Structure 1
Amino acid sequence: MDEMEEWKMNLPMFDLTSKVAIVTGSTKGLGRGIANGLAQAGANIVVCSRTAGECDAVAREIKETYGVETLSKATDVSRPESVEALLQATLDKFGKIDILVNNAGTAVTKRAEELTIDEWDRVMNVNLRGVFMLTQAVGKKMIAQKAGKIINIASIFGIVGDKAVLPYLASKGAVLQMTRGLALEWTKYNIQVNAVAPGYVMTPMNEKELGEEKVYQYITGKIPMRRLGKAEEIAGAVVYLASEAANYVTGSTIAVDGGWLAQ
């Protein structure tokens, strides 16, 4: 058997058929792209965001497009009772959770000296506290089943700085440290915890800013590839980390950023 034949035999390691994946913030932007990517690889998808109608529509679209099973569950990841309801609904329908993608996030664009404590708390409650609460709840189930994949969607701005987004920077940097700490704690349970750090991708959260020509030209001018990323390009990294192909990867961060961090 030559090397190419061996590689062809290993391609099914990327197959996620029958796996159950929760993707938070999966009705728009990166989360929607990630949910579609996982479904295309065969995973059953739990679609969740704060708006029930949007969850229903995306869950129905994914099921019709890819033929996988879906669950729609309106969820506010910053509220413990909402997180518990999501967990219970998923277990009631599927009986297990194989993959958790912590994608839900928010930001406030304001100079540090003008930030209010409420604005700081709002970003931290979603981007950090919410990630911990859901990861802890799902992690307990994964510990019991002795297997699981947790993928945290961080940002290049958890690694390098930027102006006027201080709570976002702090929360995403903390998520990367949480990723490393959990990876070390839970590896004995066959749970792999990793992160993806996207660069600039046009999403509903930043489309107003990036829709301005001067801003767009400035940002793309700083990206070595001279373009924005696409949601499906982030999804590719998530599918890899969710699959058996990444069984020996934990505590790592994959940057999908057009070369931004290489500078």
Structure 2
Amino acid sequence: MRAPTGIAAFGLEGKSALVTGSSQGIGRALVEGLAAAGASVVVHGRDAGKAARAAAEVADATGSQARSVTFDVTDPAAVDAGIAALEAEVGVLDVLVNNAGIQRRAPIGEFSDEDWDVLMATNVSSAFYLARRVSRGMVERGSGKIIQIGSVQSQLARPSIAPYSATKGAIVMLTKGLCADLAPHGIQANAIAPGYFATELTQALVADEDFSDWVRQRTPAARWGDTRDLVGALVFLASSASDFVNGQTLFVDGGMTAVV
């Protein structure tokens, strides 16, 4: 069967997608964008009530089926159990979006072991655990899309966030490694690297006029990103339109990484 071409190649009808950390912020925009493109989506979050409410709102807004799940993405046993339960309901996922992530800030000499460990667990280990578990079914089926959410900080460093930058650099290389292992099985693994986006988690930075001025001056587009700016790149990487794109990191940053 030939893959669809033209605008039809971007459709996600009949596809199932899980977005981790999607009850708010960037994840919420991503899961709603996939649903609007026709996918049956799964909202994931740490708060079961919040995730369920988000799923209901996504379903109402898009008309697509949406359900919610709650499991600890930093616990490999919980990931295995959570995905097994989900597969029992919806089958092997067509699309996995590893979005869950956190930030911790401190000068490197003052950065605590605890903050380092939680950053690595949430930003890197979780992506490995999810990709490892979900890819098993994808390999058996012979198709699938794994999309990691990275950051411009995988390429650009700033004071006080060296460990965070390290985690996002790891995501870039994990994505390339997934390509090496999974491409022969018909699976595409790619990453999206957002620039500076206005979300619930960045409200304090957006409200800081000096920092916002720096963002606008440093970004050729001269503005903060809106979470909806990420949806087009996500739908492309989740759809058959990207079937020959693998191991790549797509920067959605208003041009920040293109200029000095």
Normalization by structure 2: what TM-score?
0.96
Q: 1:205, CA displacement in angstroms?
A: 2.0
SS at match of 1:205: helix
Residues 1:150 and 2:146 are matched in the alignment: yes
Structure 2, unpaired ranges of 5+: none
Question: Sequence identity of aligned pairs in percent?
Answer: 36
CA distance in 2 between counterparts of 1:167 and 1:51 reads: 26
Conserved? CA contact 2:92–2:134, under 8 Å: no
Conserved? CA contact 1:75–1:82, under 8 Å: yes
CA distance in 2 between counterparts of 1:107 and 1:82 reads: 22
Residues 1:131 and 2:144 are matched in the alignment: no
CA distance in 1 between counterparts of 2:248 and 2:198 reads: 25
1:120 alignment partner in structure 2: 116
SS at match of 2:53: helix
Q: 1:204, CA displacement in angstroms?
A: 2.0
For these two proteins, the number of residue pairs brought into alignment is 256
Conserved? CA contact 1:154–1:197, under 8 Å: yes
Paired residue type of 2:257: L
SS at match of 1:219: helix
CA distance in 1 between counterparts of 2:32 and 2:64 reads: 10
Residues 1:206 and 2:205 are matched in the alignment: no
Residues 1:227 and 2:213 are matched in the alignment: no
Conserved? CA contact 1:56–1:72, under 8 Å: yes
Paired residue type of 1:125: A
Select 2:252's aligned residue among 234, 239, 256. 256
CA distance in 2 between counterparts of 1:81 and 1:9 reads: 40
What per-residue deviation string (whole Å, max 9, x for no partner) do you get for residues 210-240 of structure 1?
Answer: 2111211122111111101111111210110
CA distance in 2 between counterparts of 1:9 and 1:203 reads: 34
Conserved? CA contact 1:48–1:55, under 8 Å: yes
Where in structure 2 are the equivalents of 1:55-66 lying within 5 Å? 55-66=51-62
What per-residue deviation string (whole Å, max 9, x for no partner) do you get for residues 232-257 of structure 1?
Answer: 11121011000000001001111000
CA distance in 1 between counterparts of 2:208 and 2:145 reads: 38
Q: 1:81, CA displacement in angstroms?
A: 2.8
Select 1:184's aligned residue among 180, 185, 193. 180
Conserved? CA contact 1:107–1:167, under 8 Å: no
CA distance in 2 between counterparts of 1:61 and 1:135 reads: 27
Q: Following superposition, which runs of at least 4 residues in structure 1 exceed 3 angstroms of deviation?
A: none
Select 2:20's aligned residue among 21, 24, 33. 24
CA distance in 2 between counterparts of 1:76 and 1:221 reads: 38
Q: 1:9, CA displacement in angstroms?
A: 5.7
CA distance in 1 between counterparts of 2:22 and 2:243 reads: 25
CA distance in 1 between counterparts of 2:76 and 2:177 reads: 22
CA distance in 1 between counterparts of 2:147 and 2:132 reads: 13
Q: 1:82, CA displacement in angstroms?
A: 2.3
